[in-house]
Amino acid sequence: MPKDIDVCPIFSPHKITFPPVPMFSYQDDLGDELKQGLTGADALGLYDCMLFIREFEQMIIQLKGGKFEPLPGFKFIGATHLSIGQEAVAAGAMSAIRPDDYITSTHRGHGHSIAKGVFWLRARSPDGLAEFIGRDVGDISPDELWEMALQEHLNRTMCELFGKEEGYCRGRGGGMHIADFNMGHLGANAIVGGSYGIATGAAMACEKLGNDRIVLCMVGDGATNNGIAHESYNFAAMDQFENGTPVIYLIENNQYGMTCQQRGEVTGVKYLAQRGAGYNKANMNAEGVCGMDVLAVRDAVRRGAELCSSGRGPVMLECHTYRYMGHSLSDTREAYRSKEEEQMWRNCDAIGQFHTQLLEQGLATEDELKTHQEQAAQRIYDATVFAGNATDPDPRTIYDGLLTDTTSDDLDEEGATPENELFQKPKQRRGAQQILYRHAVNEGLVEEMLRDRRVVLYGEDVADYGGAFGVTRGIFEIFGRERIFNTAISEAAIVGTAVGAAAVGLRPVVELMYIDFILMAMDQVGNQAAKNRYMFGGKAKVPMVIRTSVGGGKGYAGQHSQSLEAVVTMFPGLKVVAPATAYDAKGLIKSAIRDDNPVVYIEHQHAFTERGEVPTEDYTVPIGVARVAREGTDCTVVAYSWLYYRAMEAAENLAEEGISVEVIDPRTLVPLDVDTIAQSVRKTGHLVVIQQAPERGCFGEHIAYQLQQQVFTDLKAPIKIVAAHNVPPPMAAPLEEENLPSVEKIMDNIRQTVAENRKG
């Protein structure tokens, strides 16, 4: 496949110009919208939605202050980030997208969740409403069904804030992490900017799956200054996405990121929308919108959605609004803003302005609008009483939703990659033979991409070049840029987009060149990929694989030679594998791709050139099953990844001294097959754990702890861990050699362990 673009040395003088960024161009009103097709019922629906949001958040103030009389003594716990004053953004935006479009939200996202549910339910059929309610509703009218479904939605939302089993996420997420995947709400996020990558990946997946959906990424103004924001903008705007990325980044600019002002203090721009000019020639279709006008927001999001649907995304909308309350209820807001400023914004209150327009257009009388207000207040009252009396989760269910036991093993033939989508057929080997470890990984990737058209592969330099270590070489020629593509050096965006893509139907495999670089992406790894399913009540599936490598022994020093497996093993919700042999490398990459949980797949750079016999027929290696690589009677040695080879060499050498060593390769770190190791230790009475990472805080300590719990009385000597020194990997050859566990060090520690028993 030829190179796409030749970059030529052109140095002629010229200037770069940018199209203007429109600001507040919407000048219509309710009368104009009624002439263009908005119905009176639609207008009142917008009004009701804004009322629901405001009443909901006013209720939180009552609850936090202990002033809600029907629940005497009730103690409201959890976050209290309110969006009072910002209702027009949530209502206008959610009314403008289709019911099956996706959204991501923020820690200040009660309004987004309420509005998404309201407009999603409005589009449901009577049968769909009955299904949502989830119980026998009898023979009632469609209007009554709508009323019941709306109340159910508000009940579930309030229950989640109360941490109740009936909440949208079964109380696992709370107000800052509310989601409902059934209605396309991919989750609120307590990490400022944390959902940027997720939304971007979900949008990329929509384009690749051809489902004609868009993603509305709700973010605050403070989030736009986060690194993941810029990585995501760049990712979404990449030229290689020829059909665009159907994502709208809606910046809900309420003027303050906690207490700091965006204008005049922590940025150098008057309008955040102008940043769109930095990412593509269309300025990301950026514009500024009056966020105090529900119709202006509705208009802007509708136009943005049309751009995305026609292949012209991404879109950036900056909606100027205002939060009347502080960052949280503990923030009095007096230290950083004036009463005069607040009053000016209250004078253009979104609900008040729309109230006036409804009266002017004769859509309702003052008494009728008062009835709407009273009904909204009653709904929230009822939802609060319901939530106060709802079910507390049973502590025995604390692990529910952490991992799923499902896989894509039962994929039907329709899910396979069609022959006409291949640029060339993959080469086939004849029978089992010795092949390189890196070729085994490559084979596994190709086979899974052929088997399942949802598998995509991306990362830094993985396409034309084949990756820094040649692991993905040749895959680009088979599948083309639609299925394997390069990204910018954006580790956070690489992982974050994989989370979003996996959540909506793709099965992404992403590469981080060195595990050292995973630290650049740890929010997306630890706070997003790992927690997504559990935090959202066990409803999400995140079938993604993060391929990365560990090194050492090449003189690459402190930032390219670390063995950071313990960093990822500490996050519940991730599976972690570290194959040592070519056979396992292929079998485990296939299992990892088919698993419906996020898997960190760790390769060792020294193992890439190790050879092993690998069958050509389809096979997988189960995740969570260790392998007894060598049987012995005197000492059990546990060694994973490339240290397995040094452990095997040490065992062979010690056999000549009369010491029989049993070597176990865990293959999988999470879940760890403790039983296989324990069975061995019960036989040998000794355990030595070999690893490349520094000793302090290492995964070997976890192995030692788990085995001590099971076989303490069988141990004839203390468990030893052979590890690197507690220093960053040094570059100088003598220091690096000293730092890595050598065969001699492993042998010495085994001798000492066995000898301690003999002395006893």
Q: Which of 270-274, 341-345, 552-556, 667-671 has the lowest mean pLDDT?
A: 552-556
User: Using 50, 70 and 90 to split pLDDT, how confident is the model at 412?
Assistant: confident
User: Using 50, 70 and 90 to split pLDDT, how confident is the model at 3?
Assistant: low
Q: pLDDT by residue (tens digit) across 194-242?
A: 999 999 999 999 999 999 999 999 999 999 999 999 999 999 999 999 9
Beta-sheet strands, E only, within 544-660: 545-550, 575-577, 599-604, 611-614, 627-630, 635-639
**Token output for 643:** 């240290």
**Token output for 330:** 């503990």
- Residue 76's pLDDT is 83
Three-class DSSP labels, 172-199: CCCHHHCCEHHHCECCCCCCCCCCHHHH
Give the pLDDT mean for 439-452. 97
CA distance 89 to 112: 8
How many helices (H) and strands (E) in the chain?
24, 21
CA distance 326 to 678: 55
**Closest listed residue to residue 601, CA positions, set 568, 558, 633, 629:** 568
Report the share of the chain in percent with pLDDT over 90.
89
CA 39, 41, 47, 49 torsion: positive or negative?
negative
Residue 479 carries which side chain, given as an amino acid letter? Answer: F
Residues with Cβ within 8 Å of 705's Cβ and at least 6 positions away in sequence, in order, are none
**Token output for 188:** 């609120």
**Token output for 712:** 């303490």
Cβ pair 225, 267 in contact under 8 A? yes
SS3 category, 563? coil
Residue 758 has pLDDT above 80, yes or no: no
β pairing state of 433-436 and 611-614? antiparallel
pTM: 0.96
Give the pLDDT mean for 319-333. 91
**Closest listed residue to residue 248, CA positions, set 195, 192, 199, 191:** 199
Q: Which residues are catalytic?
A: 560
Q: pLDDT by residue (tens digit) across 511-557?
A: 999 999 999 999 999 999 999 999 999 989 999 999 999 988 888 88
Q: Which of 29-43, 329-343, 361-375 has the lowest mean pLDDT?
A: 329-343
SS3 category, 351? helix
- Residue 553's pLDDT is 83
Using CA atoms of 182, 195, 76, 87 in order, give the dihedral in degrees to the nearest 10. -80
Report the share of the chain in percent with pLDDT over 70.
99
Residue 759 has pLDDT above 60, yes or no: no
Q: pLDDT by residue (tens digit) across 76-109?
A: 888 789 999 999 999 999 999 999 999 999 999 9
Give the pLDDT mean for 285-294. 98
Eight-state DSSP code of residue 732 = S
Residue 120 has pLDDT above 50, yes or no: yes
Q: Phi and psi of 238, rounded to 5°? A: -60, 135
Domains of the chain: residue spans and CATH: 31-389 (3.40.50.970), 413-614 (3.40.50.970), 627-759 (3.40.50.920)
Cβ pair 505, 207 in contact under 8 A? no
- ∠ CA 469-474-476, rounded to 5°: 105
CA distance 657 to 364: 95
Cβ pair 689, 715 in contact under 8 A? no
